[in-house]
Amino acid sequence: MLQEPRCVRRYNRGALSSHTGCSKVRVCLWGGVVTSRYYRLDLSLTCGHVNNRVGPKPISWSAIRSALRPTSAEMHAARIGVTERESVADLTAHRTLGLRLALSEQPDVALVAVTHALVAQTFYRGAEANVLDIRPGSLFLGSHADGIADTEAGLSWSDRHARWAAQLPRDVADLWAFVVALDHDSRMAIFAHCAALTVNAVKLPRDHRPRALATADSLAEAVALDMTGYWRPTVRTYFGRVTKARIIEAVREAVSAEAADRMADMKKPDMAEAAEQLLATTDWLPALIRLPKAAQQDVTQSAADAATDGPANAYANAAE
């Protein structure tokens, strides 16, 4: 009996791959079928031989390699195909450079292009219709603030997003014409909406983005952010998540020291409920979400008050 060749043993385990004499031809056998870049032969394997099903005469591996070797005409055609593809890439690279130069000199068109890119990726996920390689990201806030989508601010954002979606064309191919046809105010409005969706000012425990968070403070100042219009201190949003010392501190700051002292002996759930009622009519905010300058002024004022209270009061404040 003939010794079973190594290549046949590999085939019997499921697949065989072999290279012919031509470096550009790859032969693969699977289920008795030999395929290459140029040919497809239906073969059957026996012990040590490859038999062509057309006739009983066995053929050797050298014969298979010879049969699969491409002709000079086929190799020339393959080289021409590669050359043409390279030519397409070369020409479109020059066209891309021309577009960059022309767009850099026309800011109005650049605004249209950027708006188109943002809208296409915000409302038509996976369409890949934007020619500008801008990849906006949007952090899912619900994973960091439970129930945020059901707040007044969350519902307001959802309604605004839905109104824009209802105005956009169904086919992304019509989006460019839609953006061009918008009047200036409408174009800037949808541009601002898409840009706003990419804001990420979330501070995580192990966040290493000090410059990004500093920029978030600058952005808050630029838009004159007043969080009293978007957030209220309640048991769910704040008092139920912080310590009793934080609750008393908030009541002392927003209401009075006497009100804070009266709550000192309460249990945490009762204290949180009472604090929500006391602060319901105030505009109190935690320092973390105040305007940066306002928060700094509060820190400075607290330091000045501690200095004028005397040693005893200063010690009491530090203990709290």
pLDDT (tens digit, 9 = 90+) per residue, 240-278? 999 999 999 999 999 999 999 999 999 999 999 999 999
Examine the domain organization and report whether 240 and 297 are in the same domain. yes
In a domain, 34, yes or no: yes
Angle at which helices 244-254 and 268-278 cross, to 10°? 20
Give the pLDDT score at 59.
Answer: 57
Query: What is the rounded CA–CA span in Å between residue 28 and residue 171?
Result: 43
In a domain, 223, yes or no: no
**Residue 316 CA: distances (Å) to CA of 80, 242, 281, 311:** 86, 21, 28, 9
pTM of the model: 0.65
Give the pLDDT score at 53.
Answer: 46
Give the pLDDT score at 55.
Answer: 47
In a domain, 177, yes or no: yes
**Higher-pLDDT residue of 233, 76:** 233
Examine the domain organization and report whether 112 and 182 are in the same domain. yes
Examine the domain organization and report whether 188 and 257 are in the same domain. no
Query: What is the rounded CA–CA span in Å between residue 236 and residue 272?
Result: 9
Give the pLDDT score at 22.
Answer: 39
Examine the domain organization and report whether 187 and 129 are in the same domain. yes
What is the dihedral sign for C-alpha 278, 284, 288, 294?
negative
How many distinct structural domains can be found in the chain? Answer: 3
In a domain, 84, yes or no: no
Sequence-separated (6 or more) residues with CB below 8 Å from residue 186: none
Mean pLDDT for 211-217 is: 93
pLDDT in tens, 87-127: 888 899 999 999 999 999 999 999 999 999 999 999 998 88
Q: Give the gyration radius of the chain's Cα atoms.
A: 35
Question: Do residues 180 and 119 make contact, with C-beta atoms less than 8 angstroms apart?
Answer: no
Nearest to 118 by CA among 177, 190, 223: 190
> Token pair of 181, please?
């046809």
The parent domain of residue 179 ranges over: 107-200
In a domain, 32, yes or no: yes
Examine the domain organization and report whether 178 and 252 are in the same domain. no
A 10 A CB-CB count for 123 gives 17
Query: What is the rounded CA–CA span in Å between residue 71 and residue 189?
Result: 62
Length of the chain: 320
Give the pLDDT score at 128.
Answer: 87
pLDDT in tens, 219-239: 999 999 999 999 999 999 999
In a domain, 138, yes or no: yes
Give the pLDDT score at 180.
Answer: 97
pLDDT in tens, 273-292: 999 999 999 999 999 999 87
pLDDT in tens, 140-193: 999 999 889 999 999 999 999 999 999 999 999 999 999 999 999 999 999 999
Examine the domain organization and report whether 190 and 238 are in the same domain. no
- pLDDT of 201 over the 60 cut: yes
Q: Of 200, 223, 251, which marks where a domain is finished?
A: 200
- pLDDT of 56 over the 80 cut: no
Q: Of 200, 218, 241, which marks where a domain is finished?
A: 200
- pLDDT of 2 over the 50 cut: no
In a domain, 85, yes or no: no
Query: What is the rounded CA–CA span in Å between residue 182 and residue 84?
Result: 40
